[in-house]
Amino acid sequence: MAKATTAQPGTATAGVAVPTTTAGARAAHARALSVSISTKQSVEISHALRYRNTAFAKRYLEEVAALRRAVPFRRYNKDMGHKPGMAAGRYPQKAAQVFLQLVRSVEANAQVLGLDTSNLKITKLLANKASIPVTGGRRHRGTKRTHLEIEVQVRKAKGTKQQRRSRKEKPNAPQAAQKNVKESTA
Domain annotation covers residue 186: no
**pLDDT recorded at residue 137:** 77
Residues 6+ away with beta carbon under 8 Å from 100: 58, 61, 62, 65
Domain annotation covers residue 93: yes
- Cβ atoms 107, 153 nearer than 8 A: no
Number of domains in the chain: 1
**pLDDT recorded at residue 41:** 94
Structural domain harbouring 127: 12-158
**pLDDT recorded at residue 132:** 86
**pLDDT recorded at residue 85:** 84
SS (H, E, C) 111-164: HHHCCCHHHEEEEEEEEEECCCCCCCCCCCCCCCCEEEEEEEEECCCCCCHHHH
Round the CA-based radius of gyration of the chain to a whole number and report it: 23
Domain annotation covers residue 169: no
Domain annotation covers residue 170: no
Q: What is the pTM of this model?
A: 0.72
* pLDDT, block means (10 residues), the chain with 186 residues: 47 44 70 94 95 96 95 89 88 96 96 92 95 80 90 84 68 64 64
**pLDDT recorded at residue 72:** 92
For 74-108, write each residue's pLDDT tens digit: 889 888 888 888 899 999 999 999 999 999 999 99
Give the CA dihedral 40, 44, 45, 49, nearest 10 degrees.
Answer: 150
Domain annotation covers residue 29: yes
Q: How far apart are CA 17 and CA 150, in angstroms?
A: 11
Q: How far apart are CA 173 and CA 153, in angstroms?
A: 33
Closest CA to 54 of 104, 5, 98, 115: 104
> For a pLDDT cut of 70, what percent of the chain falls above it?
73
Domain annotation covers residue 6: no
CATH code where residue 131 lies: 3.90.470.10
